[in-house]
Amino acid sequence: MSTLTTSTFGKSSRSSDGFTIVKAKHPGRWIAAGVLLALVALVLYSVFTNDRFGWPVVAYYFTDFSTARGLLITLELTVISMVIGMALGVILAVMRLSPNPVVRMAAAAYVYFFRGTPVLVQLLFWYNLAALYPTINLGILGLQFDANAVITPMFAAILGLGLNQGAYMSEIVRAGLLSVDSGQVEAAGALGINRFHTLRRIVLPQAMRVIIPPTGNETIGMLKTTSLVSVLAVPEVLYSAQVIYARTFDTIPLLIVASLWYIVVTTVLSIGQYYLERHFARGSQRELPPTPLQKIAYLFRVHDRRLPVSTKTDQENSR
């Protein structure tokens, strides 16, 4: 322990046995960073001096009303489709692990079908459902609908994206469930905890650690897949941009507006995912991983020191 010293940025430090510890210089890292920064500067210079990017137009439409409404619809589609996808995913994953072979096969067939066809084709199918079933008849309830009235573009979009996502989510959830040690189920069973509670309180929370990273991926993927529903004339971000540039011919600036918004939302989602992972990591590691701010702080340290730990666990571990 005597040579592990802590210090604040910029100060030299002495270990308890009297030596001053100086970190290695790493000239190669400085050169590589310099070259890359120069390249970035070149690209930025080109981007901001080329008038055809139309930055004033980008700025004008970035906060335009129809862009804002398009963003809201994109977010709505993403959230609703992911919620449907996750709910379906959990149900299908549990079905896949059922002892009943018919239930198992049904879930497998669902996944096979929805994974086997492109989501764009599925969206067009749902949109044109009225051609297949002009009236939707819920016989048991005695209800009957006109398919053309019920299947609005938005509804077709939600159905298409949600049902398709369910197939992918089921595989992710299944992987998560399988990752939990069978001893956990045994212990819960030996304590008399029934199947439902075992799944909800013992298995799923532990499976979440495996489920969340790919689900974050899927959510970000979904955000961008929603742009597909522009073919159904649902006025989400991309379609809103298309409507405007069809009128003004500012194609590139409006595509930039749409891209910028996708990047903004993706950034927010990534941050959310990080903290969600941190939450479900409790109990799985002795110390929680550092937050981004903590990481930045450690980038600037001059002297080596122990990895960051919250003060509480620090005390516990050094007991």
Partner 1 sequence: MTMQAEPAEAQAASGSNRMIWADAIHKSYGRNDVLKGIDLEVAAGEVVCLIGPSGSGKSTFLRCMNHLETVDDGIMWVAGRVVGYEMKGDRLREQSYAQVCRSRTKIGMVFQHFNLFPHMTVLENIMEAPTVALRQKKSVVRERAMRLLEQVGLAEKAQHYPRQLSGGQQQRVAIARALCMEPSLMLFDEPTSALDPELVGEVLKVMKDLARTGMTMVVVTHEMNFAREMADRVVFMDGGVIVEEGPAAELITNPRHPRTKEFLASVL
Say how far apart CA 52 and CA 37 lie, in whole Å.
Answer: 24
Q: Are 225 and 161 in contact (CB under 8 A)?
A: yes
Q: Write down the least CB distance from residue 85 to partner 1, Å.
A: 24
The CB-of-95 to partner 1 minimum distance in angstroms stands at: 17
* 191 lines the binding site for partner 1 (CB under 8 A): yes
The footprint of partner 1 on this chain (CB under 8 A) covers a number of residues equal to 27
**Nearer to partner 1 by C-beta: 205 or 308?**
205
The encoded tokens of residue 49 equal 């001096």
User: Residues 21, 303: contact at Cβ < 8 Å?
Assistant: yes
- Of 2, 194, 311, 318, the one binding partner 1 (CB under 8 A) is 194
Q: Give yes or no for residue 318 binding partner 1 (CB under 8 A).
A: no
The answer to whether residue 193 forms part of the interface with partner 1 (CB under 8 A) is: yes
Please, what is the minimum distance in Å from the beta carbon of residue 90 to partner 1?
17
Is position 187 an interface residue for partner 1 (rule: CB under 8 A)?
yes
Q: Which lies closer to partner 1 via its Cβ, residue 28 or residue 283?
A: 283
Cα separation, 89 vs 111, whole angstroms:
10
Site string for partner 1, 200-239 (x = CB under 8 A): -xx--xx---------------------------------
Nearer to partner 1, 137 or 317 (CB): 317
Q: 156 exposed, middle or buried (CB, 10 Å; 0-12, 13-18, 19+)?
A: buried
Region from 167-175, 219-227, 256-264, 311-319 binding partner 1, contact rule CB under 8 A: 311-319
Piece of 22-30, 120-128, 179-187, 210-218 that binds partner 1 (CB under 8 A): 179-187
CA distance 235 to 74: 8
Q: In sequence order, which ranges of the chain are alpha helices (DSSP H)?
A: 27-49, 55-62, 65-96, 101-116, 119-127, 129-132, 147-150, 153-179, 182-190, 195-197, 204-225, 237-248, 251-280, 292-299, 311-317
34, 189, 272, 292: residue in contact with partner 1 (rule CB under 8 A):
189
At which residue do the structure tokens 């210089």 appear? 25
**Which one-letter amino acid corresponds to residue 81?**
S
Which residues make up the interface to partner 1 (CB under 8 A)?
Answer: 181, 183-184, 186-195, 197, 201-202, 205-206, 280, 282-286, 313, 316-317
